[in-house]
Amino acid sequence: MSQQQDPLTHIRTILENKSEAKQITYKNLLGAFDVLANKSKRIVDSLSRQLKMQEDGVTVDFIEVNEHEFQVKLAGDLLIFVLHTNIVTFEESHLAMQVPYCKENEINRYFGQIMVYNFMADSIRYNRVNDPGYLVARILINHENRFLVEGEGRLGSLFKQISSQSITANDLNTIVQHSLTTAIENDLMAPPFPQVRFITLHQKLEKTSELGAGHKIGFRMSYEKEIK
């Protein structure tokens, strides 16, 4: 704000600019989420046709929960796609904030988020509320439909820089495919024997379905540093 500028005018201008950018971002996010759902459903339908001819015991399914969530079941894995309604920005230390594009215009720094979580399907089926889920990918889209993806595996390298162009249906299809691949390639690891050697009677009566439940291995977001 310049010394000559009226503070209230300055505040109003900031509010108007940010509000407009956030509203546009949210509309872009809804559009991308709809495409993600359609691409996911097509993949599930294709897999269903192929699996019926090859393996009746493997089930795949697409579940539409509401306008902000859908799920993809792949045998024992359940991927949950969630659209977050809040528009966010990041600390200066975040890699995305270091690029000239974000530095030259503040409203370029605001992103909508779509999160992709992986749960074990049995965790939902048997209501094992203590079973963990894992973040496979976080898709970030701004008011110009430019995007980046923070993720596990190839998702952490394919789109780690803010795109120079708007996100496309092909980009979203690639994200879906890699999300599904990442989930099914990471297997369950049984807990160490000493951890399940002793149980309480309460565990036996109330949590039998949780005993010995595996945890997913191999999940670490690309930006995370290994803790030693």
Query: 184: closest CA among 174, 176, 196, 195?
Result: 176
User: Is the CB of residue 171 less than 8 Å from the CB of residue 138?
Assistant: no
Q: How far apart are the C-alpha atoms of 70 and 62, rounded to whole Å?
A: 7
pLDDT tens digits along 140-159: 999 999 999 998 888 888 99
What per-residue confidence (pLDDT) applies to 221? 42
Q: How many CA atoms lie within 13 A of 116 on its CB side?
A: 31
What per-residue confidence (pLDDT) applies to 222? 43
More confident residue, 167 or 16: 167
| Residue 220 confidence (pLDDT) above 50 | no
The pTM for the full model equals 0.79
**Which stretch of 90-94, 97-101, 176-180, 221-225 has the lowest confidence by average pLDDT?**
221-225
More confident residue, 59 or 29: 29
- By DSSP bridging, strand 147-151 and strand 60-66 are unpaired
